[in-house]
Structure 1
Amino acid sequence: MQHRPTDMVLTPTGLRFAGRRFPVTIGRGGVRSDKREGDGATPAGTHRIVGMLYRPDRLARPADWALPIRPGDLWSDDPADEAYNTMVRAPYAPSHECLRRADPLYDIVILTDWNWPRAEYRRGSAIFLHAQRRPGYPTAGCVAFRPEDLRWIAPRIRYETRLIVPETQAR
């Protein structure tokens, strides 16, 4: 596959973007080409960047197209819910994840098109690019960065930026 200069490419030694290499953590299930709900894997493939969210009470807008995370913003992660894998608002009965967290994990959230906008049942919820809990601590399938690296990357993402997770890293 031909990579574009604007691509983010996952490598065995980190994520390559804009002439730099960033340490990242990925899903506890490694990279998989057959991603399924709950497997903790980061899906192999080429993923478009489709949005960016940020905490306006904690940082300035990282890009002019970033949307604020407001109190009550949630992400539906219930595969049986018709709003599965989309942002929803509280109060919300089906299973969901709170986007406005007490910790800094989601101060910036970069959204990919994994299983979006029309989610397939059991294919897995959203794959976000977000801050790490701590270095080396795996995610549930997302790609996680040091907060300072994410703040550097966010304003440099362009419309054509893609996240490339090579099949060669899949189990």
Structure 2
Amino acid sequence: MTGSPDLEEVFHQTGWPGLRARLFHLYFLLRRPMTLGVRGLVYDRASNSVFLIRHTYVPGWQLPGGGVESGETLLEALARELAEEGNIALTATPVLKSMHFNRRSSRRDHVGLYLIEAFSQAAPKLPDHEIAEAAFFPLDRLPEATTRATLLRIEEIFGEKPASAYW
């Protein structure tokens, strides 16, 4: 042990200061709620292909992902969404490539985009109530109905285009 204090202990407030901090946090949560999501660009280098999904409830092919639940980290949410939407498991820590404001969804929605190159897929994803189709597509043969946002994220990662602040 180094003898240095635990930082969580140092910054933990009790009494009136702690209550006041919790009340301010509650106020800001109610006053300025924000949503956070993750998307994963699963890239198979060997076949130069990316994994895309097509939902049953929205049009177009897109990157797998979804909302970050309360008490969940971005990486936990990403791992959960990849498992649910593609039978994909992370085998190494993915790289956070960019953060985007998703103004089409709401005035408070943000999405973190991860590049995943180390993964395994137990079995192809079969259609269910949420996912109509899921597959790997070569970068030069993406489906015609790939969403604009998905095409932009792929271009930002594999092309010379800088990451946009917007989804």
TM-score by length of 1: 0.21
Structure 2 length-normalised TM: 0.21
Whichever structure has more helix as a proportion of its residues is 2
Higher relative contact order (CA 8 A, sep 6+): 1
